[in-house]
Chain A
């Protein structure tokens, strides 16, 4: 049973536009969420995180929104740049980290010129 779901395996966005990546979760014990970015042949790189006590966190071009009642979070990238083309993973912590990070299966973002 997948507890963190990224329902879009891929997303294509034009350079300069907004990219919106979505993530849904089922485990109500998740209380800390992170987004990671992964290039081929490299490990995931941390992008941005949000605690469940907040509904928004911003860092430069990246903003994460959390809707706890809907068990949904999203990552907004504005403006999208060619270097943003990568696989983006949504991940969550629960229970004081006892289960490690639970990852979604990723969304491949393609930024088109």
Chain B
């Protein structure tokens, strides 16, 4: 079974631009969560999508948004990029929603650099 895939793996943008990251979950998984990893803050929860609906959201500004498609694939969008948005963005999928404490399977991440 193929694992979680994320595209692109690396991305360089400039301040003020917007970016869209993509995540394909493991086949059959219906929940997709996004995390931001930075050296200072570690891994922080962004949001979870389950059955095309945002279920939960972490403490991030509205510039961070996402969506999930009917095939469970998910995209994350960051608008008006700031230097502090430079990070590794990880996507994780699970069979059920986080409400049932499912084990999450992580993708390799997208490394975003904002100049």
Contact = CB atoms under 8 A, between A and B. Distances in A.
A101 interface: yes
B30 to A, nearest CB: 14
Contacts of B106: 36, 43-45
Contacts of A53: none
Nearest to B42: A105
A89 B108 contact: no
Contacts, number: 62
B76 interface: no
Interface string B39-61: 00011111110000000101000
Nearest to B44: A103
A30 to B, nearest CB: 11
A100 B109 contact: no
Nearest to A6: B42
Given A43-B107, A99-B45, A103-B43, A32 B101 contact: yes
Contact of B100 (A36, A42, A97): A97
Contact of A100 (B4, B98, B100): B98
Interface in B93-110: 97-101, 103-109
A89 B53 CA distance: 28
A98 interface: yes
B93 to A, nearest CB: 11
Interface of A: 32, 34, 36, 41-46, 49, 89, 91, 93, 96-106
Given A41-B108, A43-B92, A97-B48, 11 more contacts: A42-B108, A93-B101, A97-B98, A99-B56, A100-B35, A100-B98, A101-B35, A101-B43, A101-B45, A103-B42, A106-B42
